[in-house]
Chain A
Amino acid sequence: MGIEKVLIAMGRTPHLADPTPAQLVEKNNDMMAALDAFPNETLGLVYVSPKHPAASVAEIDRCLKHPRVVGLKLWIAAKCSVPAIDPIIARAAAHRATIHQHVWDKAGGNNVGESKPEDLAALARRHPKVQFIAMHSGGNWERGLRALRTVPNVSAEVAGSDPVAGFVEMAVRELGEDRVIWGSDAGGRSFASQLAKVYAARIPDAAKQKILCDNFRKQAERAMRFKQK
Chain B
Amino acid sequence: MPITDTNAHLSRWPFRRVANDDPPSLVAQLKRLAITEAWTGSYDALLHRDLSAVNERIVADCQRHGAGVLRPIGCVNPTLPDWEEDLRRCDEVYKMKGIRLYPNYHLYELTDERFKKLFAMASARGLLVQIAVMMEDERTQHPLVRVPHVNTAPLIDLLKQTPKARVMLLNGFRAVRAGLLLRLQATRRVWFDLSTLEGMAGISRILKQVPADRLVFGTGAPFYIPESAVLKLKESKLTKGQLDAIQFKNAQAL
Residues in chain A within 8 A of chain B (CB atoms): 1, 104, 106-108, 139-142, 161-166, 169, 186-193, 195-197, 199-200, 202
Instruction: Assess whether A190 is in contact with B232, with CB atoms less than 8 Å apart.
Output: yes
In chain B, residues 182-212, which have Cβ atoms closer than 8 Å to a Cβ of chain A?
Answer: 196-202
In chain B, residues 209-233, which have Cβ atoms closer than 8 Å to a Cβ of chain A?
Answer: 222-232
Q: Which residues of chain B come closer than 8 Å to A106, judged between CB atoms?
A: 139-140
A161-B140, A200-B225 known, 5 other contacts, Cβ within 8 Å: A161-B137, A164-B140, A190-B199, A193-B232, A199-B227
15 A-B pairs in the complex with CB atoms less than 8 angstroms apart: A107-B140, A108-B138, A165-B19, A165-B20, A165-B222, A165-B225, A166-B18, A189-B198, A189-B200, A190-B197, A192-B234, A193-B228, A197-B225, A200-B228, A202-B19
B146 within 8 A of partner (CB): yes
Beyond A106-B139, A165-B19, A190-B198, whether A1 also contacts B234 by CB under 8 A is yes
* A16 vs B229: C-alpha distance when bound (angstroms): 31
Closest beta carbon of chain B to A38's beta carbon, Å = 14
Closest beta carbon of chain B to A128's beta carbon, Å = 30
B177 within 8 A of partner (CB): no
Counting contact residues on chain B (CB < 8 A from A), the size range is 20 to 34
Q: Which residues of chain B come closer than 8 Å to A197, judged between CB atoms?
A: 225, 228
Can you list the 7 inter-chain pairs with the closest CB atoms, starting with the nearest? A192-B231, A196-B228, A165-B18, A196-B227, A163-B228, A193-B228, A106-B139
Closest beta carbon of chain A to B114's beta carbon, Å = 29
Closest beta carbon of chain B to A190's beta carbon, Å = 5
Instruction: Assess whether B223 is in contact with A164, with CB atoms less than 8 Å apart.
Output: yes
Q: Find the A residue at minimum CB distance from B141.
A: A107
Q: Which residues of chain B come closer than 8 Å to A200, judged between CB atoms?
A: 19, 225-228
Residues in chain B within 8 A of chain A (CB atoms): 16-20, 136-143, 146, 196-202, 222-232, 234-235
Beyond A188-B198, A190-B198, whether A162 also contacts B224 by CB under 8 A is yes
* A169 vs B225: C-alpha distance when bound (angstroms): 12
Instruction: Assess whether A108 is in contact with B139, with CB atoms less than 8 Å apart.
Output: yes
Q: Which residues of chain A come closer than 8 Å to B20, judged between CB atoms?
A: 165
Closest beta carbon of chain B to A164's beta carbon, Å = 6
* A147 vs B230: C-alpha distance when bound (angstroms): 33
Beyond A188-B198, A193-B198, whether A107 also contacts B232 by CB under 8 A is no
* A108 vs B125: C-alpha distance when bound (angstroms): 40
Q: Find the A residue at minimum CB distance from B134.
A: A162
Closest beta carbon of chain A to B71's beta carbon, Å = 22
Closest beta carbon of chain B to A115's beta carbon, Å = 15
Instruction: Assess whether B225 is in contact with A140, with CB atoms less than 8 Å apart.
Output: no
Q: Find the A residue at minimum CB distance from B139.
A: A106
Q: Which residues of chain B come closer than 8 Å to A191, judged between CB atoms?
A: 200, 231, 235
Q: Which residues of chain A come closer than 8 Å to B196, judged between CB atoms?
A: 162
* A140 vs B141: C-alpha distance when bound (angstroms): 8
Closest beta carbon of chain A to B236's beta carbon, Å = 9
Q: Which residues of chain A come closer than 8 Å to B229, judged between CB atoms?
A: 192
Instruction: Assess whether B199 is in contact with A189, with CB atoms less than 8 Å apart.
Output: yes
Instruction: Assess whether A196 is in contact with B231, with CB atoms less than 8 Å apart.
Output: yes
Q: Find the A residue at minimum CB distance from B197.
A: A190
Q: Which residues of chain B come closer than 8 Å to A169, judged between CB atoms?
A: 19
Residue picked from A165, A189, A197, most chain B C-beta under 10 Å: A165
* A1 vs B232: C-alpha distance when bound (angstroms): 10
Closest beta carbon of chain B to A21's beta carbon, Å = 31
